[in-house]
Each structure stands twice: as C-alpha cells, then as structure tokens.
C-alpha cells in the first residue's frame, strides 16, 4: 500500500508510542456460573474464594456470592477458622503481603504478621506469608513465610496467634503446601515448592512428593513416591487428600491416601483441566478446575461443580483508555521505513515516522495478537492470533483496510513468530512440536521442512530469491548445533556444517550464496 510519510526517525517513533491507546472491553460475569475463581476454602456452611483479587463468600450449595474484601491490592488464600466464624488470608493492604484475619460477616481486617515480606521474587517462586490454614483448636493461623537463610524462594511453615502475638516456626526447615492433622500433632506437606509453576507432566528434579512430619517425635515419613507430581495435601479424618497427575490422562486429579492402610486411590476423574488449590473443612474438599469451584464429598465420593454467580460493580472490567508504550513486545519497520509495526497490549499498531495517524490494525479487546511482521512487498502484516482459542496465523492489509484472513487451521501447539519469504508468498515458522514449517499465504497449504531431534527449531532465515531456507538444528551424534538448508523447489534438506562445534545464526549474503 502507498506510504506517504517521510523516512523514519528513531526519536519520532519513540515519541509517538506514548500516544498509543487501547480500549479494553471485558464482559462482566453473567449467567449462573462464574469463571476465574481461585483458592477456595470451605466451612460447614460456606465457601470462600478469590475473584479479581478480592475474597468472596457463597453458601456451600452455591448461589450469588458476597464480596468480603475490597482492598486495592490482592487478598489471597482465604481459610476458615474451625468454628467457621473467621477467615484468615494473605492481604496486600499496604503494598506488602501479610497475614490478616476478619469475621465472616465482614468488618475491618486485623493484621497478624509484621515481618517484611519478600516481594521481589517472581511469581513462580511463590507468595510470601501465604496462609495455609488454622490449628484445630482455632488459636493459631498456619502460614508459609519465605525466611529460609539459603534462598528467598524457599519457605517454611509458621504459626501466629489469631488473637495477636509473635509468630513461631514449625520444626520443618523448608516446605510448600501443607495441612495439620485433625489432632494437630502431625503435618502433611511437600518439601519442594512448585505449585506456582505451570509445568505440565513434569518428572524432573522438582517433582513433588507428600510427606508426613511428626511434630512431637521430630521425624518425617514420605507417603508418596510417584515420579511425577504429588502435592497440595489436605488432611481430613484418616485421609490425606492430595493432587497428582498420575493416571492415563496425566491431569492433576484429587487422590486420597488412607493413613491407616497406607493405600492411595483416585478420588476425581477430571480429564480436561487440572485440579488446583484444594482445601478442606467440615464441608468436604473444595478445589479449582477450569476456573470453576468444585466440592468433593468424602462420604459419597462424588464431586460436583458449585454454581456461583458474581454480582457487583466489578470496577476492573469497566472499559478504559490506556497508554501502552510500556507494554511494547516487539517493533520493526515497514519495507520503506516510513512506518513502524508495533505489538503492544495484545494488539498490532502501525505508527508513522513523522506525521500522520497511528493505526490499530487489530483492535480486538479479549483477543491477543502477537509476533507481527510486515511482508516485503509492504502489502500485508502477518501475526499470530488466539481468536479461535488457539493461536493461528492471520494476515491483514497493512493500511488497516479490509478484513483479516486466517491462514492456518491446525493450532494444536504453540507457533513461533512467522517470517516472510522475500517474494511475500510464504511464511516460515517453527513450533513446539519441534517442527520447521512453510505455509503458502494464498492457499494455506503447509509443508514440513524438518523436525528437531531434541530442541525447538527457532533460528531460520530465507535466501533472497525465496528458494532456500537456512536454519539451525542439533546434530544427533553430538547434540551440538549445525547449519542446515532446505530447497523449496526440491523439498529436500542438506546439512552444511558438521555439528562438531556449535554453529549458529545463519544468514545469506545479498546474492544468496
């Protein structure tokens, strides 16, 4: 498309990016079952959970939830007291995360901990002062604090008096999720913390197992030995419930370990989403699955979704305009260098070098576009979009006119950003199936170039005449990277370097040699 703006000046684009705006339109929860509900807890009569960073309470059978907290920061990990009259939680009222307690009926939260939290660790390292539960007598709140001397990411369990006082550590030197036995003399826990990491079907060195610590004898016993994930124990009666991804579908489900017989059995059979963040109480075991709350009844062995409706002003869902210069993910130039292509806040923009309009090419609140690239002929912009629920490749005219066109239809895995061929006819991309692929923009026909032996293929480039592709792949014999080329005309690959040393980042010269 014609581009009337003068050549790009770097200072100009940086200035213009300040003016990029986005109207975020998010639909409020409606219907009989809300989503995005997390960290549930259960008493005899009610369920507490977190929605939009606040704690809500609903009858144990479901219905319209009542908002309990409304702080600007996050309130997380609610836990009912044994009598069901109070809720302890991790609150962020003054910027730090501390342990608080408040009545179920509402009121002013009362702060229990005052030791500075460790806030700078990434989310995968956990959350400091994470409330885990209560002692059976209701006198103390159990929480994890990141106070081990060897790492800010490691935590250990503490008790703090619910009436106020100094917290004291349990004898366990390090631990993650945990639950006290009904008599308070033993503690089921996982020594390794990995609950905040989103690794699926993991069987490496941080795979978790459940242990029981005898607080009187100061001895520990490992009760699960599965090579995958066993975590989030919840102790009710003679049963320690925990989540495990053992089984045919390798989804985290609720399992039950009988402390008398030392036998474990599967309690739930979810096959699509993982069971996350279970907790227990007089009402059974509650947990998150697919953003909804479920309740498992130990007596009947049945699990069912709790229908929950969220009603309120939901201030965070009100449409707003936002400057997105701080959210730029990528930026590159048009073929003439008269405009820049920018990805920010999940939309694709083009901005002029000097004067003219900033165009939001996609403008799709609720849909994310990423990895945009301008075709060499200047006519199109290609990008990945999750419009269908999975990331597919789309193209759209670079001047913003016309509709976007979907190119691929097999988005069952993550694709890396596509690269245009110099003739603007094809797109080259790798994916998490370790494939390198070429898609014809006009027809959508896709061919496989090659497949990695051990790792993803992420370094690839076109020759100037669009007839060859150069890329990096590990050599099977040495597992060192070698340079390969693929002939588009012949459909054949050739290894150029031996793989006896790490060869990287191939580039064709302007003549394609």
**Tokens for 462?**
């076109």
pLDDT of residue 321: 85
Strand 253-258 and strand 239-244: the pairing is antiparallel
Residues contacting 503, CB < 8 A, separation 6+: 472, 480, 481, 482, 483, 497
Contacts of 55-63 spanning 24+ positions with Cβ under 8 A: 55/87, 55/89, 56/310, 57/87, 57/104, 58/306, 58/308, 60/283, 60/295, 60/306, 61/306, 62/306, 62/307, 62/308, 63/307, 63/308, 63/309
**Tokens for 318?**
């009100």
**Tokens for 194?**
């990995």
**What CATH number belongs to 10-25+316-495?**
2.120.10.30
Residues contacting 64, CB < 8 A, separation 6+: 58, 309, 310, 311
Does residue 135 contact residue 180 with C-beta atoms inside 8 Å? yes
> Is residue 11 within a helix (H) or strand (E), and if so which, with residue range?
helix 10-17
**Tokens for 112?**
């229990």
Residues contacting 475, CB < 8 A, separation 6+: 481, 482, 495, 498, 499, 500
Give the rounded percent of residues in the chain with a pLDDT score beyond 90: 84
**pLDDT beneath 70: ranges in the chain:** 1-32
Read off the pLDDT of residues 331-368 as tens digits, 9 standing for 90 and up. Answer: 999 999 999 999 999 999 999 998 899 999 999 988 99
List Cα–Cα distances, 508 to 208, 358, 466, in angstroms: 47, 34, 11
- Please tell me the distance from the alpha carbon of residue 280 to that of residue 141, in angstroms, as a whole number: 15
Q: Which of 211, 213, 155 is nearest to 184 (CA)?
A: 213
pLDDT of residue 349: 96
Residue intervals of the chain classified under CATH 2.120.10.30 are: 10-25+316-495
- Please tell me the distance from the alpha carbon of residue 333 to that of residue 339, in angstroms, as a whole number: 6
**Tokens for 14?**
């940086």
Q: Which of 303, 309, 264, 274 is nearest to 286 (CA)?
A: 303
Can you name the CATH fold of 38-315?
Neuraminidase (2.120.10)
- Global pTM reads 0.75
pLDDT of residue 148: 92
Q: Which of 293, 313, 279, 366 is nearest to 34 (CA)?
A: 293
pLDDT of residue 299: 96
- 3-class secondary-structure state, position 316: helix
Does residue 205 contact residue 135 with C-beta atoms inside 8 Å? no
- Please tell me the distance from the alpha carbon of residue 110 to that of residue 511, in angstroms, as a whole number: 72
- 3-class secondary-structure state, position 113: coil
- Please tell me the distance from the alpha carbon of residue 481 to that of residue 471, in angstroms, as a whole number: 10
Residue intervals of the chain classified under CATH 2.120.10.60 are: 38-315
Q: Would the CA dihedral through 24, 30, 33, 37 be positive or negative?
A: positive
pLDDT of residue 32: 64
């Amino acid at each position: 498309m014609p581009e009337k703006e003068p050549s790009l000046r770097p200072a100009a684009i940086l200035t213009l990016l300040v003016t990029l705006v986005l109207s975020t339109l998010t639909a409020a929860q409606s219907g009989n079952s809300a989503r995005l509900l997390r960290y549930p807890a259960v008493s005899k009569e009610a369920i507490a959970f977190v929605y939009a960073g606040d704690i809500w309470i609903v009858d144990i059978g479901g219905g319209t939830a009542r908002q309990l907290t409304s702080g600007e920061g996050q309130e997380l990990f609610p836990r009912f007291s044994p009598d069901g009259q109070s809720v302890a939680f991790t609150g962020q009222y003054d910027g730090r995360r501390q342990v608080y307690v408040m009545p179920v009926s509402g009121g002013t939260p009362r702060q229990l901990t005052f030791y500075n939290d460790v806030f700078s660790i990434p989310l995968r390292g956990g959350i400091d002062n994470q409330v885990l539960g209560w002692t059976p007598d209701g006198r103390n709140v159990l929480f994890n604090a990141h106070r081990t001397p060897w790492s800010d990411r490691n935590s250990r369990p503490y008790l703090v008096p619910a009436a106020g006082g100094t917290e004291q550590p349990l004898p366990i030197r390090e631990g993650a999720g945990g639950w006290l036995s009904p008599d308070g003399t033993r503690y089921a826990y996982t020594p390794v913390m990995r609950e905040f990491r989103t690794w699926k079907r993991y069987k490496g060195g941080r795979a978790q197992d459940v242990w029981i610590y005898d607080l009187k004898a100061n001895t520990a016993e490992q009760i699960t030995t599965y090579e995958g994930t066993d975590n989030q124990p919840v102790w009710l009666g003679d049963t320690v419930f925990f989540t495990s991804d053992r089984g045919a579908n390798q989804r985290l489900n609720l399992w039950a370990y009988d402390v008398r017989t030392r036998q474990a059995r599967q309690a739930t059979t979810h096959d699509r989403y993982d069971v996350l963040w279970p907790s227990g109480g007089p009402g059974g075991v509650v947990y998150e699955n697919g953003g909804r709350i479920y309740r498992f009844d130990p007596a009947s062995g049945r699990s069912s979704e709790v229908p929950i409706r969220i009603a309120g002003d939901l201030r965070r869902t009100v449409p707003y305009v936002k400057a997105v210069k701080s959210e730029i993910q990528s930026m590159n130039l048009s073929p003439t260098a008269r405009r820049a292509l920018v990805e920010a806040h999940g939309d694709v923009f083009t901005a002029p070098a000097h004067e003219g309009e900033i165009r939001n090419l996609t403008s799709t609140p609720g849909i994310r576009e990423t990895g945009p690239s301008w075709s060499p002929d200047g006519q199109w912009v290609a990008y990945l979009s999750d419009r269908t629920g999975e990331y597919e490749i789309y193209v759209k005219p670079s001047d913003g006119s016309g509709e976007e066109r979907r190119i691929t239809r097999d988005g069952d895995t993550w694709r890396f950003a596509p690269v245009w061929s110099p003739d603007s006819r094809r797109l080259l991309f790798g994916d998490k199936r370790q494939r390198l692929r070429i898609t014809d923009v006009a027809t959508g026909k896709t061919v496989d170039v090659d497949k990695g032996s051990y790792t993803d293929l992420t370094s690839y480039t076109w020759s100037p005449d669009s007839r060859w592709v150069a890329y990096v792949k590990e050599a099977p014999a040495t597992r060192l990277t070698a340079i390969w080329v693929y002939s588009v005309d012949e459909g054949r690959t050739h290894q150029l370097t031996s793989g006896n040393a790490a060869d990287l980042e191939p580039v064709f010269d302007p003549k394609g040699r």
